[in-house]
């Protein structure tokens, strides 16, 4: 398994290669991409802050949770930090599994869980202002 935070552009090819196995017939790959609009505002760019030591630990924990629920072969997650322009990838989640159904389901579960618990925050910068986006507080950490 691979869990990384980096200030550099993310490399989907490398992530797919990392999870690919001869016994895995499916690789699901999710790209989280910086969008030019949010709540009616034209977004100029985003800035991501993180608690790096904890973020990679929590990524590993959610990967272990998901691997316990779905028959997956391998998991790799990367998130970028710092300033990201519109169209750039902030999050990559790659999952390999014997069959597509499990690969899709595990990838979906990982992205949902990631957004709930991994200590990473984004700030939206638009014309004339900026705001830290804060998600819903998650009551249960299990």
The binding site for another protein (CB under 8 A) comprises 32-35, 38, 46, 48-51, 53-55, 57-58, 79, 89-91, 111, 114-123, 132-138, 141
Cβ neighbours of 42 (radius 10 Å): 10
| Nearest distance in Å: CB 116, another protein | 7
Of residues 73 and 89, the one with the C-beta less far from another protein: 89
Of residues 51 and 104, the one with the C-beta less far from another protein: 51
Of residues 71 and 119, the one with the C-beta less far from another protein: 119
Dihedral pair phi/psi, residue 81, rounded to 5°: -125, 170
| Nearest distance in Å: CB 99, another protein | 26
| Pairing mode, strands 41-50 and 120-126 | antiparallel
Cβ neighbours of 9 (radius 10 Å): 9
| Nearest distance in Å: CB 10, another protein | 11
CA–CA dist 77, 63 (Å, integer): 9
CA–CA dist 70, 121 (Å, integer): 28
Of residues 21 and 54, the one with the C-beta less far from another protein: 54
| Nearest distance in Å: CB 122, another protein | 5
CA distance to 29, 36, 53, 134, per residue, from 33 (Å): 13, 10, 23, 18
């Amino acid at each position: 398994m691979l869990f990384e935070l980096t200030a550099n552009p993310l490399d989907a090819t490398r992530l797919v290669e990392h999870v690919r196995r001869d016994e895995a017939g499916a690789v699901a790959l999710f790209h989280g991409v910086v969008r030019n609009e949010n709540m009616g505002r034209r977004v100029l760019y985003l800035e991501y802050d993180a608690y790096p030591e904890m973020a990679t630990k929590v990524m590993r924990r959610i990967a272990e949770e998901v691997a316990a629920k779905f028959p997956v072969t391998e998991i790799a997650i990367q998130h970028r930090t710092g300033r990201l322009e519109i169209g750039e990838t902030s999050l990559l989640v790659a999952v390999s599994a014997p069959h597509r159904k499990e690969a899709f389901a595990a990838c979906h579960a990982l992205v949902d869980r990631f957004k709930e618990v991994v200590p990473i925050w984004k700030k939206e910068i638009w014309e004339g202002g900026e705001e830290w986006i804060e998600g819903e507080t998650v009551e249960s950490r299990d």
